[in-house]
Amino acid sequence: MRKKIVAGNWKMNKTFSEAEMLLEEIAELLTDDLLSKATVVVCPPSLYLELADDIAAENGFYTGAQNLSDKESGAYTGEISAAMIKSIGVDYVIIGHSERRTYYHETDELLKEKVLQALKHELTPVFCCGEVLDQRNQSIHFDVVKKQLEIALFDLSPEEFSKIVIAYEPVWAIGTGVNATPAQAQEMHTYIRKLIADRYNKEIADETTILYGGSCNEKNAPELFSQPDVDGGLIGGASLKAESFIGIIKAI
């Protein structure tokens, strides 16, 4: 059975002491029962990953980086490599978040290189895809997502692809307070699973965890997560408070 995951993307928020406090609160509220239902991943700013991973390892949850370099090592000032992230015990990495695509001009060709780096160093990529509002209004959202997956992921071997987690994050839903309806999420997740089955096979498609992200909160999570092809969530704003993050995990 495929894994259910709830991952929190803190983005560029929290000072060191605030991060420490939030991690301790999450650890405190996570029960064995919750941890048996979902894999919980916290993605703080890279600066706090070591601290986060120490707390996570002691308390049954996992950590993820929000980004990584497409390069192995060397003269790339300011970058953080997959090997560095892995060397402190981190297991996941978000790749292709819409904010990186928009503000840092990351293309699917570049994201493909990042995915390869992640896999080479045994990090699980949480690959983000999704359309902007204009594209949905033009009814080209399926084509947009298809192209993102084809360029960045579909050259992977079946064995490599089996290690990928996908997050469908319609850009118009991220940080806006307007979530995709459960039906819209289910429709796109089914479509993504069909693309995977066509490119690889049904077994791999059925085993791929596909998360929903975009203004997911304690209120809308139960209905979103009850959709058969929604396997959890990538949570931004609502992961910045322990109570709301845990509330979302309870919806799994």
Residue 224 binds ligand PEP (CB under 6 A): no
Stretch that binds ligand PEP, among 72-80, 85-93, 222-230, 236-244 (CB under 6 A): 236-244
Q: Cβ–Cβ contacts within 10 Å for residue 134, how many?
A: 11
Stretch that binds ligand PEP, among 20-28, 81-89, 132-140, 209-217 (CB under 6 A): 209-217
Query: Judged by CB, which is closer to ligand PEP: 205, or 227?
Result: 227
Note the Cα 55 to chain centre separation in Å. 20
97, 121, 141, 189: the catalytic one is: 97
Contact letters (x/-) for ligand PEP, 88-127, by CB under 6 A?
Answer: ---------x------------------------------
Answer for which of 4, 8, 9, 124 binds ligand PEP (CB under 6 A) is: 9
Query: Judged by CB, which is closer to ligand PEP: 125, or 200?
Result: 125
Instruction: Name 159's Cβ contacts closer than 8 Å, sequence gap at least 6.
Output: none
- Binding residues (CB under 6 A) for ligand PEP: these are 9, 97, 169, 174-175, 213-216, 234-238
